[in-house]
């Protein structure tokens, strides 16, 4: 049964409202950048406010999953927006240069541009917090240079009315809100934006497993768009968000192009290792580092037999996103909720939604 959750109630998971700010399970990542934590000065608003490059965002997504920070019910679909205001020099709403995200940046270095844009992002947070009384917002903002972390992925965001979240058979399902800086009613995403949005979508898909596709549906049907891509206009009337020029065909193509870039760099977590496949060809089987280690620690070939297909994404009967490495005498299942474990024979017999 579809149970819609009004966006005003989506601000955070009720049991987490008192979670201390800045409490991070930071993994052992490169010291070249600081693991993002919530801004303790944001009051009751869940806000990070840190800019990441694309390689940093890729690693952040992988580490966010492997350290279990998504919790037992990770987000499962991606919703696109445009900010409209602020707009940008590459996508203006004709409101004047003073509203441009990239205003007054001539001659600035990359670091200076980041430092100049950070207070602008803070101002958006304060608008959500002080004027709208929200405690969460979208999860990421994307411009021509960075992916800006806004509300942590763990929390249900506030950005798309009924698209924020819903319940399926009593299980929470929620979206990632992706704001693209600019107004796209007259122009499409220019190359820098297109590349950043597509690659960021691929980074999220690699750890959450949704499909790079869109299914047309009536208004306010997150159950139809779950495990896929959609846009703000699917959950509201009278708005063109993510912009008149950003059609489903356009953003799906962008995401698919980003996925090809991601995989060509062998960054897909499910393709980071190989195991020997079954005879007679013994073709290599792709899997994640976690599954390879688990396979070896559980006896490997003598116990589990040969892996029989590449590790793939699925949703188990409890609604938990997981990956599965199927072998001749068992299967290895990995999820952010339960880690890596042997899949029970009884569980293998249950129907699963597969979206590899």
Return the closest-CA partner of residue 253 out of 37, 116, 80.
80
Question: Does the CA dihedral 154-158-159-160 come out positive or negative?
Answer: positive
Answer whether residue 268 shows pLDDT above 90.
no
Counting beta carbons within 10 angstroms of the beta carbon of residue 11, is it exposed (0 to 12), middle (13 to 18) or buried (19 or more)? buried
Measured distance between the N- and C-terminal CA atoms of the chain, rounded to whole angstroms:
25
SS3 215: coil
Question: Does the CA dihedral 46-48-54-56 come out positive or negative?
Answer: negative
- Per DSSP, the residues of 210-245 read --S------SS-HHHHTTSEEEGGGS-SS--TT-TT
Strands 229-231 and 77-82: parallel
At which residue do the structure tokens 């060809």 appear? 281
The share of the chain scoring above pLDDT 90, in percent, equals: 71
At 33, the pLDDT band (50, 70, 90 cuts) reads low
At which residue do the structure tokens 């897909």 appear? 268
Beta sheet of 353-354, edge-to-edge order: 339-342, 330-335, 321-327, 312-315, 353-354
Answer whether residue 121 shows pLDDT above 60.
yes
At which residue do the structure tokens 């299942």 appear? 333
The number of helices, as runs of H, and strands, as runs of E, in the chain is 8, 15
Answer whether residue 356 shows pLDDT above 60.
no
At which residue do the structure tokens 């919703």 appear? 79
Question: Does the CA dihedral 353-285-333-163 come out positive or negative?
Answer: negative
Domain regions of the chain by residue span: 2-264, 269-354
pLDDT in the model for residue 9: 39
pLDDT tens, residue by residue, 182-200:
999 999 999 999 999 999 9
Mean pLDDT of the chain: 88
What is the distance, to the nearest Å, from the Cα of residue 57 to the centroid of all Cα atoms in its chain? 10
Helices (H), the chain: 54-66, 110-126, 191-208, 222-225, 248-264, 289-297, 300-304, 345-348
Question: Does the CA dihedral 147-46-183-8 come out positive or negative?
Answer: positive
pLDDT tens, residue by residue, 293-352:
999 999 899 999 999 999 998 888 887 788 999 999 999 998 877 889 998 777 777 777
Return the closest-CA partner of residue 253 out of 182, 188, 183, 159.
188
pLDDT tens, residue by residue, 201-226:
999 999 999 999 999 999 999 999 99
pTM: 0.81
CATH topology of domain 2-264: Lysozyme-like (3.40.80)
Helix or strand (DSSP H, E) at 165: strand 165-168
Task: Answer yes or no: are the C-beta atoms of 82 and 182 closer than 8 Å.
Answer: yes
């Amino acid at each position: 049964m579809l149970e819609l959750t009004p966006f005003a109630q989506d601000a955070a998971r009720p049991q987490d409202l008192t979670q201390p700010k800045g409490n991070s399970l930071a993994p052992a990542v490169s010291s070249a950048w600081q693991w993002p934590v919530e801004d303790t000065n944001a009051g009751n608003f869940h806000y990070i406010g840190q800019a990441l490059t694309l390689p940093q965002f890729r690693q952040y997504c992988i580490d966010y999953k492997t350290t279990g920070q998504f919790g037992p019910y990770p987000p499962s679909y991606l919703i696109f927006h445009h900010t409209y205001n602020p707009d940008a020099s590459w996508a203006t709403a004709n409101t004047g240069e003073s509203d441009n995200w990239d205003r007054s940046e001539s001659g600035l270095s990359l670091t200076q541009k980041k430092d100049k844009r950070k207070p602008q992002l803070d101002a958006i947070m304060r608008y959500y917090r002080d004027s709208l009384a929200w405690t969460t917002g979208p999860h990421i903002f994307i411009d021509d240079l960075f992916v800006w972390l806004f509300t942590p992925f763990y929390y249900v965001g506030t950005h798309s009315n009924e698209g924020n979240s819903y319940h399926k058979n009593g299980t929470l399902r929620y979206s990632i809100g992706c704001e693209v800086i600019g107004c796209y009613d007259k122009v499409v995403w220019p190359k820098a934006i297109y590349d950043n949005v597509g690659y960021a979508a691929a980074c999220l898909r690699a750890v959450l497993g949704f499909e790079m596709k869109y299914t047309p549906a009536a208004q306010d049907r997150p159950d139809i768009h779950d495990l896929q891509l959609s846009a703000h206009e699917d959950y509201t009337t009278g708005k063109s968000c993510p912009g008149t020029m950003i059609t489903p065909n356009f953003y799906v193509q962008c995401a698919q192009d980003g996925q090809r870039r991601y995989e060509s760099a062998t960054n897909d977590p499910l393709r980071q290792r190989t195991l020997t496949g079954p005879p007679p060809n013994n073709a290599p089987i792709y899997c994640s580092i976690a599954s390879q280690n688990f396979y070896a620690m559980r006896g490997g070939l003598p116990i589990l037999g040969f892996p029989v297909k590449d590790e793939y994404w699925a949703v188990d009967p409890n609604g938990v996103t997981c990956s599965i490495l199927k072998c001749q005498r068992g299967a290895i299942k990995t999820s952010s909720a339960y880690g890596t474990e042997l899949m029970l024979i009884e569980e293998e017999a249950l129907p699963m939604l597969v979206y590899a």
